[in-house]
Amino acid sequence: MHATSLQVDPLPLNNHVIYCINPHCQQRQNPDELECCQTCGTPLLIHDRYRLIQPLRRLDSRKYTDVFEVDDQGTRKVMKVLRENHSKLVELFEREALTLELLNHPGIPKVESDGYFTVSVNSTTELHCLVLEKIEGQNLEAWAKQYGAISQALALNWLRQLLEILDYLHQNQFFHRDIKPSNIILKPDGRLVLIDFGSVREITGTYLAKLRGDVELTKIISEGYTAPEQRQGRCLPQSDFYALGRTLVHLLTNKPPSCLPINHNTGQLIWQDKAPQISKPLAEFIDDLMADAVVNRPQDVQAIAQGLTRVSLWLRGLGCWVRSPQGIATIITLVIMGVGVYHISQPWRFQYYFKPGKKYLIQVQEYSSQYYLQQGREALMEFRLEQARINLERAVKINPNSAIARSDLGLVCKYQEDFQCAKEQFNQALKLKPNAETKATIHYNLGILYEDDENFDQALVEYKRAMQDKGYVGIDATNNFARLQIWQKQNYDVAVNLLLKALQRTESLGLDETEKNSLQSILYKNIGWARLEQNRGQDAENYLKKAIMLDNKQAAPHCLLAQVWQNQEDDTKALISWKNCRQAESRGLPEVQVWQADALDYLNVQ
């Protein structure tokens, strides 16, 4: 169950309208002077005290709950109404009510002891209702859309506030399980409130039973924020820290985590280049919160608070600086200055150590260019894009005729979405007549740029040029060329023939098992896609199953297989595949993002 937010942009308020609580009523708006709904006859005064003033989000039969602003004898509050009587949904709803009754903190909405009750609207329908304190303000997801990325100072302020709430929650033996920007309200006074406790779970009791294998806990998954162990049904207090880190990334970059790339070598989210306003120590600290392995995250709120102290961040910052190219360069400069002072004090040694000349200066330039190229490449491999760009720009400035440096700089610009810089550097590199592998790589990256611009014809031209490479780049380019033939040109047989040849070539690349499986999985996926478009369902199924067997982490084959099952009217298998489609990695492919949106629509209807 995805619990709902208590504070969203309300619909236009009509002071002369009151709403019927019956979710099956065909016309729920009524004049406010009526006592019963004019359409279905349901009493409009709920539990002898509440009147439904306006919905706080659009009424939608696909949602499990309706959320209303209500009048409680002159006081405005919020009422959540559970539309369905499914036992698991009722359990989550009751849990939220009980939890909020027990907790008393300014950062958590209050529920009075009689705030949970049921209402019968006809002989067959019983509605579960929960009345909460109305939190004035705006949820952080909506706030970020309006105001953009937050500053470091505000990030630290909000982080400390949320830690205070989590500390209270954890000390009372609960963890939230669904922290994300839409579940955090910013009040007009600047204070934060954590909402939506339908997913909360006790740390003791059922949690300990789960560790013994006695009981299956309900999985709560919010795409982009849920910790890996929680996806597997094993939720811990540290799962809240993971979600907190992902929430901070969203607010610092103004991009949901699910829209950010992942470093597949480390599993880390690639986001720091999109938050240049924060310091490296704080960025690394947030990465610690989001560590895939629970053991690598802070173990409690106190450990997080200690890590946030000014001294800890400063010491971490000093370590980052010493390891950085600037730090190394500064240290080298200081050493050289020290040597220079020593030479001046002993001039007879100076000529021995330093003999300037044109050849020497050329060697220094070559060394410097190679140094900055190497530093830039290392930063690029670690996706520290700002630092990579600085070093590669230095390398190009020192040696403008380095095709490799320009190619790498173009790649950095591409990742930073500075497409004009990327195209300029790639084209300059091609003019320098690089070796065959570098040339193919440049054409491949240009293909991606043109595809991002939706200039698919030019993208196909660049991919075709890159296909001449006999190695990995050539196969990758062939795959993208074939993918566009399927997606844009509908040349399905052309695509399949190219992909089958590429599959044969993967055996001669000398890849390790993981790399080969990943590459072959992508090729099988696209063959399956082509066969699906040709209405060859059995062939599509076979190829897509091969793709999933080799690599089940990519979303595309799950999304396509879901479509196969739907065509075969196998609703059970379709539901499983759509869930896998939604939860797996899109890998930045636009067609997959469309399919994942389709998955969400399908799952909401279900």
Q: To 5 degrees, how large is the angle CA 202–CA 203–CA 208?
A: 110
Annotated catalytic residue within 178, 240, 469, 476: 178
Amino acid letter for position 324: S
The Cα 338–Cα 347 span in angstroms is 14
Q: Which residues contact 189 (CB under 8 A, 6 or more apart)?
A: none
Q: CA-to-CA distance for 539 and 10, rounded, in angstroms?
A: 49
Report CA-CA distances (Å) from 490 to 213, 486, 529, 530. Answer: 50, 5, 11, 8
* Token representation of residue 295: 């053991």
Secondary structure of residue 184 in the 3-state scheme: strand
Q: Spell 345-382 as b/e; 16+ CB within 10 A means b.
A: eeeeeeeeeeeeeeeeeeeeeeeebebbbebbbebbeb
Matching residue, tokens 């309006």: 146
Question: What is the secondary structure of 157-172 as a DSSP string?
Answer: HHHHHHHHHHHHHHHT
User: Running DSSP on this structure, what letter comes out for residue 20?
Assistant: -
**CB-based contact 202:95 (threshold 8 Å):** no
H or E, element range at 547: helix 537-550
Per the annotation, the verdict on 178 as an active-site residue is yes
The residues assigned a catalytic role are 178
